[in-house]
A and B are shown apart, each in its own frame.
Chain A
Amino acid sequence: MNLIEELTYRELQQQTRRHFLKQCANGLGAIALGSLLGCGANSSTGQQKVLEDLVNKVPHFAPKAKRIIYLHMAGAPSQLELFDYKPDLSKLDGKDCPPSLLEGKKFAFIQGIPKMLGPQAEFKERGDSGMVVSDLLPHFSSMVDDVTLIKTMHTDEFNHAPAQLLLHTGSPRLGRPSMGSWVTYGLGSENENLPGYIVLVSGGNTPDAGKSVWGSGFLPSVYQGVQCRSEGDPVLYVGNPSGMSAKLRKQTIDAINGVNEKEYKTMGDPEILTRISQYEMAFKMQASVPEVMDIKDEPDYIHEMYGTSPGKTSFANNCLLARRLLEKGVRFVQLFDWGWDTHGVSERESLEVGLRNKCQQVDRPMAALVKDLKQRGLLDETLVVWGGEFGRTPMQENRGGRVWPFKGRDHHTEAFPVWMAGGGVKGGFTLGETDEIGYYPVKDRVHVHDLQATILHLMGYDHEKFTYFAQGRDFRLTDVSGKVIHKIIA
C-alpha cells in the first residue's frame, strides 16, 4: 500500500454514521433542487453540450477581430535597435551607468557598474505616419501605416520562462491556460476539420517556458494548442503507418469512441468527451492537415513575397502557413521564433551579427504576412501581434564582470515594444513614450495584462467577465488586473 492509498484508507476509517447522514442530506437536497430546476429529461446531454459549446460560442459584444496570429520573438528583441530611437543614448555610449538606474534593480546578468551602450542601428521616419523604425527592418518599414506600435510595454518577470508564461497565460507560474486556449474556449472553432489553436515553432528551439505557453491549463484539453511542424510530417504520428488503411483506422476509432461513449454514460466525466472529440479530430486531421500544410501549390510571387522555401523549417514558411490556416478558419495561430536573446556573449547572441540575422529572417515574411492578409481582405478581422517577452537594457551586458568581444544587452522589464496590425487597431499609430535612454516609460505605460485585456476586448470579450471555474474559484486570463487600452482601438 502506498502513502496515498494508506491516507485514503485511514480517512475512510474515520467516517462515521454521522458523516454519512450529513452527506445524504446534502445529496437529497441537491436532487430535489435539480428536479425543481427542471434538469433531466429535457436538458441536452453532456456530449451535445460540449459539441454545441465548440460551435455556438457568442461573445459579450460584437468582435472587431475574429482571428489572431501572434508572432512571438522568443528571447526578447532589443527595442533600442528596432523601434525605440534614443539619440541621447549614443552620447552616453561607453560611459559608466549612473547608480540611480541600478539602485534596487535586479538584472539577469549585469553586475557592478555596467557601461551605457548607444543604439547599434540607424533610424528613420517611415510612411505617412512618420513612425520611427530602424534600418534593420526595411520591409516592415514599408507597412507602418497599417501598424499600431506600443513602445511602453512592461512586465513583472526578468527571466525568459516566467516572462513568457506571464505574457501568454497571465501568470508567471505553470498551470494556467494560454491566451490561445482562452480565445478558442471563448469563440469556438470555425473549421471542424482543424484544431482551433495551432502553434508553429522556428529558430531551432522551443521557447524557454516549453509547451506550457500553449497549454490549456485547467480548461478542457480540447482547447490546447496543437503544434505543427513545417518540415516532415506536419503533426507527428498523424499519418497512418504502413499496413493501416484509412478504412481500418476509421473502424478502430469508431470502436474506441463507442467504448468511450459507454464509459461517459456511466461516469459523466467531461474529459471523456474531450477524448472522443480528439479521436474524431485526429482522424479528420489526417486529411486536412497535410493539405493545408503543403505550401508547394502557392504561386511563385507569394513565395517571393514571403521569402519561403518549401520543405524547410523557417519563420517565413510558418508565416505563410499561418495565413493558410487563418484562411481555413483556424481561430488562433501562435508562432514562436527562437534566438533573439542578444546578450553579446557570442556572435550569434550579438547585436552586430546575431540580431541582424534574426531581423533578416523575420522582416520580409512578417511584412508579407500583413500585406497578404490585407489583399485578401482578411486583415480587417484578423489581429496580428508581434513582440517579445520583455525588453533589453540601455546598458551593455558585462556578464561575470568581463568585457565581451561582442555588443549585447541584458534583460529589461520596464520598457519593450509590441506592434499590432488589423483586427480593429489603429494604423500608423505609436502609443507611449520612454525616457531619453529608453529605460522607463514616461507616458502611457502598458502592462502585459493590459495587452491581454485589449486582445480579449478586440475578440468581443470583457476580460473581467470572461472566467472559468477551477480549483474552487473563478479564474481569468488577466488575473486581477488589466485595463483595455482604448487609445489603440480604431
Chain B
Amino acid sequence: MEQSSDFIIFLGRFHPLFLHLPIGFLVLGFLLEFISRKEKYKSLQPAVGFTLLLGAISALVTAILGLMLATDGGYSEDLLSIHQWLGIGLVIFAFGAWWLYTQKEKKKEARLDKAYVGLLSLMMVFLAGAGHYGGSLTHGTNYLTQYMPNGLRALAGLPQQQKGFKPIENIEEAVVFQEIVHPILEMRCNSCHNASKKKGELQMHTVDYLKKGGENGPVFVAGQPLDSEMIKRIHLPESDDDHMPPKGKTQLTPEQVALLEWWIEEGAPFDKKVAELKTTSEIDDILITLADPDANKSEVELLLAKGVEEADPEKIKEIKSKGAMIKPLSNKENWLQVSISKNLPVDELLAEIAEAFPKQVTWLDIKDSPVSDDGFAAVAKMTNLTRLRAEKTSITDNAMSHIRELPYLEFLNIYGTKVGDEGVLALEDLSNLRRLYVWDSQVTKDGARKLEGRNSKLEVNLGFEVTVVDSLSVQVVPVKGE
C-alpha cells in the first residue's frame, strides 16, 4: 500500500510541470478563434479545433495528476478545494468548447456559435481562476502582492508596507515574541508553514499553531534550545534534507539564530518583554541593532560600507607601472590599498596618488621607505584613509601635523620613527583613531598617557619591557603610560 501511494505522489509531482501545457494550448485556441474572425487571418480558423482538443486532453491529464498530488497533503483545505473544482470545471468546459466548435462547424447555426463563444469565455475565466489559486497554493497567498509598490497598494485597498528595516523604538519594552521572534519566523518560515500551506503538517503563523508543532512533534522545548526541533534543523548542514530553511531559500543570519536560541533558552515566553528576560552581552549587542542597525558599527565601518566611486583605471595603471602596488580591498568594492616599497621615490608617488584618486585610498603602507615629512602633505589629502603604516621611516613630529585632520584614520603605525610626544599629541582630534603603535619612537609614557586621556577609545602601544627571571623564564610586560 505504502509503495503505491508513494508512486501516486511521484506521478502527482509532475502536475506543476504538465499544467503549463493546457494553459498554453487553451490560451492559444482562444486567441486563434478571435484572430481568425478577421478576414486577413481566416486561414488560421481550421487550427482552432485541433488546438482546443489538445488543450482539453492536456487539461484532463493535468487534473488527474493534480488529484494525485493532493493526496500528499500539506495544503490548505479551502484553497485546495477551490483550485480543484476550478480545474475540474476547466476540463469540462474545454471539452465542451471543443465539442461546440465541431458542432458549429458542421451545422453553421448562429445559436451554436453564441453558445460556443460563451463557453469559450467561461473556460478562460476558469483557466485564470485555477491558475491563480494553484499559484497561491505553491507560493503563498501574498506572493503577488508582497513587493507591490505602495502607490498600487493604495489603489488596491491593501495596507501600506514598511519598506525594509523596521526599527524597534524602545527595545527594553518590546515584547520578545511579538516584536523580535515573530518577525523572524514571518520572514523565513511562514512562506511554507502558514494558513494555506503546511509543509510537514506544521503551521507557524499563529501562536497556537506554533505551540502545536508539526508531524515530528513540537517545534521547540522551552528552556532547551539544543533539544528544540527548530534549532536542531537550523544547525544541520544545508545539504541535509531536514535542514531548515530548505537549501536554496534565504537562510537565517547567525544573529537571528542567536535570538531564536535566546528566546527558547529563556523559556519561550509569548508575553514577556525584553527587560523581563536575562540577556548576555552577545544578545545585548544584537538587540541594539534591532533599534538601530548601525548601533554596533564604527564610523569607519559605515564609511567603508558606504563605498566610493571607482578610481580612473588608466591612472591606476600608470602609477602601478612606476612600481607602486595598488589594488582594491576586494573584488566587490572600489576602495584601494596602496603599498610603496622602499626603493621607490615615495614622496613623488604619494603626490601623484593624492592628485589622481585621493578619495579611494583607504589603506596605505609606506613602511621602511624613504618618505619625508613633506611627503605627508600628500597623505593628508587622502581623506578616507583608515589605516596607515609608516613604521621604520625617518619621519618626525612635522609629518604628524600634516595628518592631524584625517577624519577616518583608525590605525596608525609609526614605531621606529623619530616622532615624539608633540607629534602624537597633534593627533588628539582624530576621534576615530583606535590603535597607535609608537614603540621604539621618541614618544614617552607621559605623552602616551596624555593622548589616551584625550581620546578614551585609543590604545597606544609602547612595546613590551623584557626582564630575565631565570634561564627558563622572562617577564614580558607591556610598557604602560601610568
A residues at B contact (CB < 8 Å): 55-56, 58-63, 138-139, 142, 190, 301, 304-305, 307, 360, 364, 367-368, 371-372, 374-377, 380, 443, 460, 480-481, 486-487
Q: In whole Å, how far is B380's beta carbon from the nearest beta carbon of chain A?
A: 21
Q: In whole Å, how far is B408's beta carbon from the nearest beta carbon of chain A?
A: 14
Q: Known contacts A139-B473, A304-B466; decide if A58 and B415 are in contact (CB<8 Å).
A: no
* Residues from chain A with Cβ under 8 Å of B282 in the complex: 487
Chain A residue with minimal CB distance to B389?
A377
Tell me if B199 counts as interface (CB < 8 A to partner A). no
Q: Known contacts A304-B474, A305-B466, A371-B476; decide if A60 and B332 are in contact (CB<8 Å).
A: yes
Interface Cβ pair total, 8 Å cutoff: 79
Tell whether, in the assembled complex, residue A376 and residue B437 are in contact, meaning their CB atoms are under 8 Å apart: yes
Q: In whole Å, how far is A415's beta carbon from the nearest beta carbon of chain B?
A: 16
Q: Known contacts A138-B473, A304-B466, A368-B476; decide if A58 and B254 are in contact (CB<8 Å).
A: no
Tell me if B328 counts as interface (CB < 8 A to partner A). yes
Tell whether, in the assembled complex, residue B254 and residue A486 are in contact, meaning their CB atoms are under 8 Å apart: yes
A selection of 21 A-B contacts at a CB cut-off of 8 Å is A58-B327, A60-B332, A62-B304, A138-B473, A139-B473, A142-B476, A190-B325, A304-B466, A304-B468, A305-B464, A305-B476, A360-B472, A371-B464, A371-B476, A375-B437, A377-B389, A377-B391, A443-B226, A460-B330, A480-B239, A481-B239
Tell whether, in the assembled complex, residue B239 and residue A139 are in contact, meaning their CB atoms are under 8 Å apart: no
Given contacts A62-B335, A307-B472, A375-B464, 8 further A-B contacts (CB under 8 A): A58-B328, A60-B332, A142-B477, A304-B466, A368-B476, A372-B464, A377-B437, A380-B435
CA distance A374 to B476 in the complex (A): 12
Select one of B239, B304, B474 contacting A307, CB under 8 A: B474
Of residues 327 through 377 on chain B, the ones whose CB sits less than 8 Å from some CB of chain A are 327-333, 335, 339
Tell whether, in the assembled complex, residue B330 and residue A58 are in contact, meaning their CB atoms are under 8 Å apart: yes
Q: Known contacts A138-B473, A139-B473, A305-B466; decide if A62 and B435 are in contact (CB<8 Å).
A: no
Q: In whole Å, how far is A417's beta carbon from the nearest beta carbon of chain B?
A: 21
Tell whether, in the assembled complex, residue A59 and residue B333 are in contact, meaning their CB atoms are under 8 Å apart: no
CA distance A374 to B304 in the complex (A): 25
* Residues from chain B with Cβ under 8 Å of A301 in the complex: 466
* Residues from chain A with Cβ under 8 Å of B432 in the complex: none
CA distance A63 to B327 in the complex (A): 13
* Residues from chain B with Cβ under 8 Å of A368 in the complex: 476
Tell whether, in the assembled complex, residue A61 and residue B332 are in contact, meaning their CB atoms are under 8 Å apart: yes
CA distance A59 to B327 in the complex (A): 10
Q: In whole Å, how far is A146's beta carbon from the nearest beta carbon of chain B?
A: 11
Q: Known contacts A305-B476, A307-B474, A481-B237; decide if A376 and B330 are in contact (CB<8 Å).
A: no
Tell whether, in the assembled complex, residue B330 and residue A60 are in contact, meaning their CB atoms are under 8 Å apart: yes
Q: Which of B328, B333, B476 has the most CB of A within 10 A?
A: B476
Q: In whole Å, how far is A302's beta carbon from the nearest beta carbon of chain B?
A: 8
Tell me if B463 counts as interface (CB < 8 A to partner A). yes
CA distance A307 to B475 in the complex (A): 12
* Residues from chain B with Cβ under 8 Å of A487 in the complex: 254, 282
Tell whether, in the assembled complex, residue A62 and residue B464 are in contact, meaning their CB atoms are under 8 Å apart: no
Q: Which of A367, A372, A376, A380 has the most CB of B within 10 A?
A: A376
* Residues from chain A with Cβ under 8 Å of B455 in the complex: none
Tell me if B18 counts as interface (CB < 8 A to partner A). no
* Residues from chain A with Cβ under 8 Å of B439 in the complex: 375-376
Tell whether, in the assembled complex, residue A374 and residue B461 are in contact, meaning their CB atoms are under 8 Å apart: yes
Of residues 235 through 249 on chain B, the ones whose CB sits less than 8 Å from some CB of chain A are 237, 239
Of residues 369 through 427 on chain B, the ones whose CB sits less than 8 Å from some CB of chain A are 389, 391, 411, 413, 415
Q: In whole Å, how far is A102's beta carbon from the nearest beta carbon of chain B?
A: 24
* Residues from chain B with Cβ under 8 Å of A142 in the complex: 476-477
* Residues from chain A with Cβ under 8 Å of B466 in the complex: 301, 304-305
Chain A residue with minimal CB distance to B413?
A377
* Residues from chain B with Cβ under 8 Å of A55 in the complex: 325
Tell whether, in the assembled complex, residue B415 and residue A364 are in contact, meaning their CB atoms are under 8 Å apart: no
Of residues 92 through 143 on chain B, the ones whose CB sits less than 8 Å from some CB of chain A are none
Tell whether, in the assembled complex, residue A367 and residue B476 are in contact, meaning their CB atoms are under 8 Å apart: yes
Of residues 29 through 55 on chain B, the ones whose CB sits less than 8 Å from some CB of chain A are none
Q: In whole Å, how far is A287's beta carbon from the nearest beta carbon of chain B?
A: 14
Tell whether, in the assembled complex, residue A377 and residue B464 are in contact, meaning their CB atoms are under 8 Å apart: no
Q: Which of A56, A62, A380 has the most CB of B within 10 A?
A: A62
CA distance A213 to B239 in the complex (A): 28
Q: In whole Å, how far is B237's beta carbon from the nearest beta carbon of chain A?
A: 6
Tell whether, in the assembled complex, residue A59 and residue B330 are in contact, meaning their CB atoms are under 8 Å apart: yes
* Residues from chain B with Cβ under 8 Å of A56 in the complex: 327
Q: In whole Å, how far is A65's beta carbon from the nearest beta carbon of chain B?
A: 13
* Residues from chain A with Cβ under 8 Å of B237 in the complex: 481
Of residues 419 through 462 on chain B, the ones whose CB sits less than 8 Å from some CB of chain A are 435, 437, 439, 461
Select one of A305, A374, A375, A460 contacting B474, CB under 8 A: A305
CA distance A277 to B411 in the complex (A): 36
CA distance A380 to B416 in the complex (A): 18
Q: In whole Å, how far is A123's beta carbon from the nearest beta carbon of chain B?
A: 19
Tell whether, in the assembled complex, residue A376 and residue B415 are in contact, meaning their CB atoms are under 8 Å apart: yes
Which 4 A/B pairs are nearest by Cβ-Cβ distance? A377-B437, A377-B413, A62-B329, A375-B463
* Residues from chain B with Cβ under 8 Å of A138 in the complex: 473
Tell whether, in the assembled complex, residue A376 and residue B391 are in contact, meaning their CB atoms are under 8 Å apart: yes
CA distance A142 to B333 in the complex (A): 39
* Residues from chain A with Cβ under 8 Å of B328 in the complex: 58
Chain A residue with minimal CB distance to B391?
A377
* Residues from chain A with Cβ under 8 Å of B473 in the complex: 138-139, 364
Binary contact track B140-180/A, C-beta < 8 Å → 1, others 0: 00000000000000000000000000000000000000000
Q: In whole Å, how far is B305's beta carbon from the nearest beta carbon of chain A?
A: 10
